[in-house]
């Protein structure tokens, strides 16, 4: 897995970051209005060969990868470059691929720095005008009439009516000027279709850059503007929408990388994901600029403030292609109806979302073991709850060192790297065995390895690794909710040990566990973050009671009570009153997005299968555009969930700073789970109301389960604050 910017691509990003900061300043962008074309910027781009990046070296271009070209467009988007760059890059690449004397002549002609070539995105039919981005500044338009790729040279500059923003949109009348044929027939159709898909990718990259810059501007203003005695960014009503947008924008960036890699690998869902990506980036940019404008308040509406420039372009750039909802329908047709699409050759794509060879080996070993020991007649492979736990399976995995593959061998693990561990644990999700005690015990075991005394490590770790015991989380209290630092459970010194009194709620898995990691207050007079201490308490100690609490998700959790529970000091983890450090490490492992994308994808696939068998107006329901769009949207969310969860590990492996990647992944995944499960329940109603273990029953069960996921591991509100602070630099908004 390689999810950091490739080393060879870093200079490309840095070069264009500097270039556009200098050559496309907001002063230059303003000066280019109302037309929206900066001829000086175009000349400078030609000087550095930017429009020719994707032209093959054989045709006289740079032959650069689509990945690096997207990096350029991202920086162009950040600075609102007032030139038809995406259109020119695609048009020139198509000319280079078509070849021939006319194509070569036009490629050379564009090197004069004065000639601008743009792209007619719709099929060119005589008498049917269309809007062409950059067309008002173009000397020529590359177009396709369904059979032939040609260059038309308007007899006069195209009409440039006022638009939402200045992007030199021109009204193109096909057939009104001299026309030079470039290519015809099936090859021309393929080249053109791939070119339109490439334009979507490049425009998506520009929208990612625009979104991220708009959020940076809003965050900076929210830190500077004081209202009611504090920066407005400390107000969650400001911070949380911006945090959501930051997560969505990062999701778009990760989805772009995933799509480029999928095209390079020939992934069967690559074409569908191009359409999902384009729709997602437009949707995200729309939200980002709306919340950014809101952050600036009335000033954001003023033409003196630059944020309105971003607001207007967020819609103008992509909407020249048409209604974005149709792109989501197209994604559904490609994904569910087998519609094919020509895709561009992306060149080298060095980002990698897949486990290395060693990870595949460990995954295959894990899969083989499950195949030997799992019996669907005896083992619950449907429910994701603690009741589905089976000690026989647990011990067999422990004996093989596959419960916690990343643990040291001396503690029952394999010493596996993070990639291999992730690949192995993914198999659990594939076969349907939840093993939730494994998840909680894995987290607690890591804390024990890092913070416990050698004596406590010797007592518990090997038994955990062998699958003999499990542990549970004693965090939440009746009065504290997600604020674990507000714990009232008291631990008081008693000679060499401690006496614990209090109550915990939602101690899931306590009925199976041998130990509970317990948050206690040891200094009631200290600030709440500085007066807590963490213990690993044996659950067989006198004074502990476990009472079941049943939920409407058909799950059992527990209320646990601690009455004069005496524990030795060896069960303390970390320093006295230093529990915040221990919990910070624990919570970072709990927040990663989880397996929700797998459940969501299963729900979407089951609804799609149901829709194939239903009829509406004499046609299969699966062909209904609304149905296609809604199912495609769930798949888009799933792909982003997976990418954001992968980023948590990828950034950790790369040794990069943690910008609240785990909280971001969990917020996105759980919120998407709630929204998408509700929509799928609606889509398949009324039959989706029936409970069951397969088919639409999975949707009903997923809908019930989704409601709790924004609470597990910290509520979305707490996690959004973490994203706002660490990703956007906003002031702390929690007490």
CB-CB contact of 684 with 631 (8 Å): no
For residue 706, the domain's CATH number is 1.20.140.10
Answer yes or no: is 446 within a domain: no
Q: Are residues 38 and 185 in the same domain?
A: yes
Domain total in the chain: 4
DSSP-H helix ranges across 337-435: 357-373, 391-399, 418-431
Q: Are residues 29 and 172 in the same domain?
A: yes
CB-CB contact of 176 with 155 (8 Å): yes
Q: What is the Cα–Cα distance from 333 to 336, expressed in whole angstroms?
A: 5
Q: What is the Cα–Cα distance from 631 to 601, expressed in whole angstroms?
A: 9
Domain end (from 382, 411, 434): 434
Q: Are residues 645 and 550 in the same domain?
A: no
For residue 47, the domain's CATH number is 1.10.540.10
Q: Are residues 60 and 182 in the same domain?
A: yes
Per DSSP, 567 falls in state: E
Total-model pTM: 0.90
CB-CB contact of 131 with 172 (8 Å): yes
Q: What is the dihedral of CA 157, 163, 165, 171, to 10 degrees?
A: -30
Q: How far is CA 668 from the centre of its chain?
A: 7
Strand ranges across the sheet with 117-119: 117-119, 140-144, 148-152, 179-184
Q: What is the Cα–Cα distance from 375 to 407, expressed in whole angstroms?
A: 27
Q: What is the Cα–Cα distance from 429 to 74, expressed in whole angstroms?
A: 35
The residues with which 732 forms a beta bridge, in sequence order, are: none
If DSSP codes are grouped into helix, strand and coil, which group holds residue 539? coil
Answer yes or no: is 735 within a domain: no
Q: Cα angle at 68 between 63 and 73, to 5 degrees?
A: 110
pLDDT along the chain (735 residues), means of 10: 85 97 97 96 97 94 95 98 98 96 96 96 94 96 96 94 93 94 96 98 98 98 94 95 97 97 97 98 98 96 95 97 97 97 96 73 92 87 79 95 95 88 82 85 93 96 97 87 78 95 93 96 86 96 96 89 97 93 69 74 97 94 97 97 84 74 93 97 97 93 90 83 94 71
Q: Which domain holds residue 394?
A: 357-434
Answer yes or no: is 317 within a domain: no
Q: Are residues 498 and 405 in the same domain?
A: no
Q: Are residues 553 and 626 in the same domain?
A: no
Answer yes or no: is 217 within a domain: no
Q: Are residues 566 and 618 in the same domain?
A: no
The answer, yes or no, to whether the previous bond of 686 is cis (omega within 30 of 0) is: yes
Q: Are residues 399 and 497 in the same domain?
A: no
Q: Are residues 517 and 600 in the same domain?
A: no
Q: What is the Cα–Cα distance from 290 to 284, expressed in whole angstroms?
A: 10
Q: Are residues 87 and 182 in the same domain?
A: yes
Answer yes or no: is 401 within a domain: yes
Q: Are residues 408 and 508 in the same domain?
A: no
Q: What is the Cα–Cα distance from 93 to 62, expressed in whole angstroms?
A: 10
Answer yes or no: is 84 within a domain: yes
Number of CB atoms found within 10 A of residue 640's CB: 27
Domain end (from 540, 574, 589): 589
Q: How far is CA 711 from the centre of its chain?
A: 20
CB-CB contact of 52 with 94 (8 Å): no
Tokens of 527: 């600030």
Answer yes or no: is 272 within a domain: no
Domain end (from 148, 174, 190): 190
Answer yes or no: is 230 within a domain: no
Tokens of 486: 């507000």
Q: What is the Cα–Cα distance from 414 to 668, expressed in whole angstroms?
A: 32
Q: Are residues 548 and 601 in the same domain?
A: no
pLDDT of residue 735: 42
């Amino acid at each position: 897995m390689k999810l950091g910017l490739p080393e060879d691509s870093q200079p490309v990003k840095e070069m264009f970051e500097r270039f556009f900061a200098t050559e496309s300043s907001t002063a230059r962008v303003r000066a280019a209005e109302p037309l929206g074309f900066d001829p000086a910027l175009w000349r400078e781009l030609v000087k550095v060969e930017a429009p020719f990046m994707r032209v093959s070296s054989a045709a006289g271009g740079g032959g650069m990868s689509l990945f690096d070209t997207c990096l350029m467009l991202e920086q162009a988007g950040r600075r609102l470059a007032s030139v038809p760059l995406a259109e020119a890059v695609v048009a020139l690449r198509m000319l280079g691929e078509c070849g021939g004397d006319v194509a070569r002549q036009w490629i050379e002609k564009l090197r004069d720095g004065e000639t601008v070539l743009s792209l007619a995105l719709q099929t060119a039919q005589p008498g049917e005008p269309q809007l062409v981005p950059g067309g008002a500044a173009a000397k020529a338009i590359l177009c396709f009439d369904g059979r032939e790729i040609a260059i038309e040279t308007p007899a006069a500059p195209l009409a440039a009516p006022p638009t939402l923003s200045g992007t030199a949109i021109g009204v193109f009348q096909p057939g009104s000027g001299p026309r030079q044929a470039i290519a015809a027939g099936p090859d021309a159709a393929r080249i053109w279709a791939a070119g339109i898909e490439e334009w979507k990718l490049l425009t998506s990259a520009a929208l990612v850059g625009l979104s991220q810059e708009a959020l940076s501007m809003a965050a900076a203003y929210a830190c500077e503007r004081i209202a009611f005695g504090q920066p407005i960014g400390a107000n969650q009503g400001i911070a949380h929408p911006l945090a959501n947008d930051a997560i969505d924008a990062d999701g778009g960036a990760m989805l772009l990388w995933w799509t480029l890699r999928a095209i390079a690998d020939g992934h069967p869902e690559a074409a569908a994901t191009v359409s999902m990506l384009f729709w997602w980036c437009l949707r995200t940019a729309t939200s980002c600029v709306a919340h950014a404008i809101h952050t600036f308040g009335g000033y954001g509406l003023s033409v003196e403030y630059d944020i309105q420039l971003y607001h207007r372009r967020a819609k103008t750039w992509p909407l020249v292609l048409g209604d974005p909802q149709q792109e989501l329908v197209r994604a559904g047709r490609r994904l569910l109806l087998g519609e094919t699409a020509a895709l561009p050759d992306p060149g080298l794509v060095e980002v990698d979302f897949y486990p290395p060879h060693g990870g595949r080996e460990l995954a295959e070993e894990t899969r083989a073991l499950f195949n030997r020991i799992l019996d669907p007649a005896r083992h619950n492979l449907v429910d994701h709850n603690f009741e589905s736990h089976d000690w026989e399976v647990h011990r067999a995995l422990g004996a093989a060192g596959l419960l916690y593959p990343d643990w040291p061998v001396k503690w029952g693990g394999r010493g596996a790297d993070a990639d291999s561990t992730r690949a192995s644990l993914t198999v659990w999700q594939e076969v349907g065995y939840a093993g939730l005690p494994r998840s909680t015990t894995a987290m607690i075991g890591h804390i024990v390895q890092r913070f416990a005394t050698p004596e406590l490590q010797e007592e518990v770790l090997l038994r955990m690794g062998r699958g003999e015991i499990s542990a549970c989380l004693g965090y939440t209290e009746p009065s504290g909710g997600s604020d674990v630092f507000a714990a009232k459970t008291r631990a008081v010194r008693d000679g060499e040990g401690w006496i614990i009194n209090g109550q915990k709620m939602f101690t899931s898995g306590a009925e199976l566990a041998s130990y509970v990691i317990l948050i206690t207050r040891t200094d009631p007079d200290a600030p709440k973050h500085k007066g807590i201490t963490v213990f690993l308490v044996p659950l067989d100690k006198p004074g502990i009671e476990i009472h079941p609490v049943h939920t409407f998700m058909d799950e059992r959790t527990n209320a646990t009570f601690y009455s004069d529970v005496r524990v030795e000091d060896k069960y303390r983890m970390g320093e006295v009153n230093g529990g915040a450090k221990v919990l910070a490490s624990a919570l970072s492992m709990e927040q990663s997005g989880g397996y929700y994308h797998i459940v969501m994808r299963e729900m979407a696939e089951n609804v799609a299968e149901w829709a194939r068998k239903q009829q509406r107006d004499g046609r299969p329901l699966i062909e209904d555009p609304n149905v296609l769009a809604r199912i495609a949207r769930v798949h888009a969310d799933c792909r982003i969930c997976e990418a954001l969860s992968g980023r948590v590990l990828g950034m950790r492996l790369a040794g990069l700073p943690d910008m609240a990647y785990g909280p971001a992944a969990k917020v996105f995944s759980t919120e998407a789970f709630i929204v998408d499960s509700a929509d799928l329940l609606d889509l398949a109603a009324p039959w989706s109301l029936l409970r069951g273990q397969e088919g639409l029953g999975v949707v009903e069960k997923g809908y019930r389960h989704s409601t709790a996921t924004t609470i597990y591991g910290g509520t979305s509100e707490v996690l959004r604050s973490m994203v706002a602070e660490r990703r956007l630099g906003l002031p702390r908004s929690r007490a």
